[in-house]
Structure 1
């Protein structure tokens, strides 16, 4: 162990090494360890996501003028593993700079691009790649996730709840941090802090921290509330994707959105599910190799991307 490492850092390193083994199956133990202390997730993210010689971006940057892109200032940070780096450089920008020649209230991100916007009420939206978010200057307590994924950090007001629309669904905050994914005819919501109400006028589903739902547009019944590890919610922001029996096609979609990786799933592998953690590595071959090893598939190059086969 490195002489400066504390026990939590050493344990995080141990988990990362063990997860490189295709035979690793102690995901429940890993989730329990993450849940023991909120700091564990941050420490795990650090050792998994930062290269030894990489300087991490500061957590908050000043808005950048649209016409004068500037390299972000960096601050030194100790790293424990060479070869693993942050998934993307996150720009924190003001609403006026998002679309200088178009609709300033419509934010579109390219695959692999991450943005953060600050709203007038102090709330914050972190937007994943391949996403479209709309805000309304006349409705400062409103946002619409048209497609993709976003993490909402909402300043709560009892007399003026914050509303997020995704498809025909409405998510109303009760003092909250929560992640929303809008896929084709499906909405996913996971709460890491506080409480949200899902479709209060229809389904009336109440979600507290550590709870999540997967809701399909064509399902007439309210979605089933499931447990989720709080530490894994919004993990895309630091390049860590955690799954519990997710279809491979969903994993491939997430990799495209979060890291700009083109991953296809062959028909013979389409029925397979994935359980485990993926680190978005600077070396994309390493990330795809982990996915293949943990899912029991083979990854073959296909143009600029990969295809997973049995």
Structure 2
């Protein structure tokens, strides 16, 4: 093995170990390191994969007590940064070929269910759980997100822009990929490729890749454009949710939509915010353990779900 590869592997192991600490918050530095060299992501993926495979061994094969770990696992973060992303997309696209929709122009997904639809012009819409998307066969370059979340991958046409409506907002593509969330009286837009125009007839906000906005209905102030990590946009498709100071109630809503998890926030913890990344683990208890550890809360089982308290 070449010395430079040895060094990268050592650094990857260091990142993995540091991410086990609930107080770890250098996600920006981690993302920058991944982007420095394609080998960084590939080697980190291999190290994390090996770590997870060892963690998946049956208890009898592991030289440790068979107790539930209190430290959240970070290895599965490779789901976004590594090859698991491609596998996740293949799985989702496969669902679309079954065409299980009740209506050809209205797609509704249950909590924890994700679907993909291919449009006639070659554009694609990845739809998260708990969402409603409407398309119109007479308007092939149009979609409406009534509620929930969807990632749009749009084939650009100069003379025929693709329009997404949600609430009272209009989003016009300029050849791009972007994620839209429609919560109660609020719209969020984040662009991972290209450019979109937000409300071109009213607000005239131009969003480039790596930019995002959150706007509440009726807000008369101009939308504030924020920087966002491109790698995190649409991360729900591979089970990665990234936040930068989001209220715990928003995180709970996203977990319900993306993973079908019932998470409630106790009144005493309602004012807490969350900064960090969550992996939707097959063992949902691990995801909750991560959230509790990183947010400074305690998770208690409540019926089929959990409640977070201070």
Match of 2:32, SS state, is helix
Find the counterpart in structure 2 of residue 110 from structure 1.
Answer: 110
Q: What is the CA deviation profile of residues 112-163 of structure 1, one whole-angstrom value per residue up to 9, with x for unaligned ones? A: 1111111000001111111111111110000111111111000000000000
Conserved in 2, the CA contact under 8 Å of 1:38 and 1:231? no
Conserved in 1, the CA contact under 8 Å of 2:113 and 2:259? yes
5 Å-filtered alignment, 1:45-64, equals 47=48, 52=53
* 1:265 aligned onto 2:265: yes
Conserved in 2, the CA contact under 8 Å of 1:93 and 1:116? yes
Match of 1:157, SS state, is coil
Structure 2 CA distance for partners of 1:299 and 1:26, relative to 1, 3 Å: same
5 Å-filtered alignment, 1:1-310, equals 11=11, 14-36=14-36, 47=48, 52=53, 89-94=91-96, 97-99=99-101, 102-310=102-310
Mark the structure with the bigger radius of gyration.
2
Conserved in 2, the CA contact under 8 Å of 1:245 and 1:273? yes
User: How many pairs were matched up?
Assistant: 278
Structure 2 CA distance for partners of 1:206 and 1:126, relative to 1, 3 Å: same
Structure 2 CA distance for partners of 1:241 and 1:16, relative to 1, 3 Å: farther
Q: What is the CA deviation profile of residues 35-75 of structure 1, one whole-angstrom value per residue up to 9, with x for unaligned ones? A: 44578678767847x9649xxxxxxxxxxxxxxxxxxxxxx
Match of 1:97, SS state, is coil
Conserved in 1, the CA contact under 8 Å of 2:77 and 2:279? no
RMSD over aligned CA atoms reads 3.0
* TM-score normalised over the length of structure 2: 0.81
Q: Distance in 2 between matches of 1:122 and 1:7?
A: 43
* TM-score normalised over the length of structure 1: 0.81
In structure 1, the gaps of 5 or more residues are 54-79
Find the counterpart in structure 2 of residue 66 from structure 1.
Answer: none
Structure 2 CA distance for partners of 1:152 and 1:217, relative to 1, 3 Å: same
